[in-house]
Amino acid sequence: MRSNTHLQPESASMPLKTITAILAISLGLTHSGLTLAAGEKPARPASKRQMAPEANAASSENLLARTVFQALVGEFALQRNDVKLGLDAWADLARRTREPKVIARAAEIAGIARQYDLALELTGMWLEVEPESVQARQMQSALMVTANRLDDLAPQITSLLEQDKASLPGNLMHLNRLLGRHNDKKAVQKLIERVTEPYRDLPEAHFARGQAAYNAGDNLRALSETEKALLLRPNWEAAALIRAQMQATLSPTTAIESLNDFLKRTPDARDARLALARLLISEKQYAPARAQFDRLIKDNPDNPEVIYPVAMLALQHGDIATGRTQLERLLQTDITDKSTPHFFLGQLDQDEKKLDAALEHYLQVSSGEQYIAARSRAAQILLLQGKNEEARRLLHETRGSSNAERTQLAMAEAQLLREAGRHGEAFSILENALTNQPDNPELLYESALSAERLGKPEILEAKLTRLIALKPDHAHALNALGYSWADRNIRLPEAHALITRALSLQPDDPFIMDSLGWVLYRQGKSAESLPILERAYSIKADPEIAAHLGELLWSLNRKDDARRILSEAARQNPESEALSATIKKLLP
């Protein structure tokens, strides 16, 4: 929430029926003869000698009406985003009635509105009325954290821990989450050590201390406290995992050894075994990692929570056979979402040029994060199979549920049209998408490139200039604009500056290297250009880079080298228009 004038409706207002019920019950305002005493005292029964029953009931009804009216004023004000009026109404009601439910509501609103002094005053009043209220103390503690009043927090936390001994282990584990928003991690560490001092015989206390130390950058203390937790509970998997995570930042070998030792004592610790497999892969110890895979699958042959991560780990280190086997096994389990394994199996089949099998998998992806990507890949396969209209129809039938998904669909359809040589239609698709999202970086970039293909450099310049204004470090936009100027042999100093900046952002990108080499060639700096273009071509044997390198070599009178590179590139890329144009120019 950025300001006091924007409250979330679901947390800032409540229905009339709920308000009436809260006030009637909490204030005790019924026809049984209860009334509210004058001043700021809690509601209490009136004696029969003070008031006749009829007058007593009438007074109660009037008081209830006035109280409900004030509460409604507060709620309606909040719904209109008039936070001051709403908060004033509820705070005044809390002070007059001193009823716990009313105070709680007022404190909640004050906290949402970031009026922390008032919120803390109200929770203090709540504790005066209900000294044993755990809810009041919890709210006060949370407010102290949010208001950065760490020095006042220790007594509150100490009291909460002492009051709820039955939940003590869980509450100790929750301490770091409670204090997670506080920026001074050293102060948090000091506070947690103070409040956990009476509980050093509990492993959860040492776990909390270890987490606080780790968050504060005190790694040695963090490891020490986590070791103490494991001494008190040797088979505690969560502590073993945290210890290994800490150790891995200093020495992956030590982390691997500690997980191996833990698994000897606790061989059924599934998450620890998965963590060990990941560490082994990161250290390129593939044979031991495979042994962990095999053990996991043997112990959990039908458990999707094991099969899926094993499949992903196998694919990450290039074990395609294991990855495929486990994904296929995953489809045989009773998981409700089979879209994810279908997507990755589709990728594997597509990589192996099994297009029909890949298409079948992609079309079975019906939901989830991969849905749009799967439909786009399916459309690409249909295009490769010559089914252009079927590919477009598939994308048109796909409905994006968010702007991001609609952007992906528009870009996928534009790509299909470009690959079919229908550049005008591709540009129109992107322009139509931009009407709803005029500052979308992806759409601006793709639309600029489409404009270039249509021979509209002024549109390319306008869109890339807008994109760079929105994202000054967009390396590809900087490169594209600089290259456009260099290729047209205009504004070369500005082009050189843009491309140099792009290369500083992505120093190993061969296409940006190519642009730099090309602008240097246009500036007559062939000697500087040559090593850059040669390096770009050695990284990526792209036909356009070959065309630039060939033209540069020809200008340097290294015609045999130019012919060799151009001929070799032409054999591998017979459809490249840029390469064909260069060969035609140099070798008529």
Residues of each domain in the chain carrying CATH 1.25.40.10: 160-242
With a pLDDT cut of 90, the percent of the chain lying above it is: 45
Q: Is the pLDDT of residue 17 over 50?
A: no
Predicted confidence band at 64 (pLDDT cuts at 50, 70, 90)?
low
Q: When comparing pLDDT for 154 and 367, which is higher?
A: 367
Buried b (16+ CB within 10 A) or exposed e, 532-556: bbbebbeeeebbbbbbbbbbbbbee
What pLDDT is stored for residue 262 in this prediction? 95
Residue 553 · residue 567 · CB < 8 Å: no
> Would you state the pLDDT for residue 504?
96
pLDDT at residue 60 is higher than 60: no
Q: Which fold has domain 160-242?
A: 1.25.40
Closest CA to 153 of 116, 128, 199: 116
Q: In DSSP terms, which residues pair with 45 in a beta bridge? A: 34
Residue 87 phi, psi (nearest 5): -70, -40
Confidence at residue 67, expressed as pLDDT on a 0 to 100 scale: 64
Region 539-560: what's the mean pLDDT? Answer: 95
pLDDT at 157 over 60: yes
Confidence tier at 572 by pLDDT (50, 70, 90): very high
- Range 1-147: architecture per CATH: Alpha Horseshoe (1.25)
Tokens encoding 550 = 């060939």
DSSP one-letter code for 368: S
Q: What confidence tens digit (pLDDT) does each residue in 234-289 have? A: 999 999 999 999 999 889 999 999 999 999 999 999 999 989 988 988 888 888 88
Among 97-106, 340-349, 485-494, name the one with the lowest average pLDDT.
Answer: 97-106
Per-residue pLDDT, averaged over 310-335, amounts to: 87
In this predicted model, which residue has the larger pLDDT, 477 or 105? 477
Looking at residue 364, the DSSP 8-state letter turns out to be: T
Q: Under a CB-based contact definition with an 8 Å cutoff, are residues 154 and 195 in contact?
A: yes
CA–chain centroid gap for 408, Å, is 18
- Concatenate the DSSP letters of all residues of 27-95 into one string: HT-STTTEEPPSSSPPPEEPPTTTS-HHHHHHHHHHHHHHHHHHHHHHHHHHHTT-HHHHHHHHHHHHH
pLDDT of residue 337 exceeding 70 = yes
- What are φ and ψ of residue 327, in 5° steps? -65, -40
The pLDDT, as a whole number, for residue 558 is: 95
Which residues does 585 contact at the CB level (< 8 Å), separation at least 6? 551
The pLDDT, as a whole number, for residue 143 is 65
**How high is the pLDDT of residue 2?**
40
Helix (H, G, I), strand (E, B) or coil at 454: coil
Band of pLDDT at residue 176, cut at 50, 70 and 90 = confident
- Average pLDDT score, the chain: 83
Measure CA 320 to chain center.
28
Half-sphere exposure of 38 (CA within 13 A, CB side): 0
The model's pLDDT over 450-468, given as tens digits with 9 standing for 90+, comes to 999 999 999 999 999 999 9
What's the gap between Cα 404 and its chain centre? 14
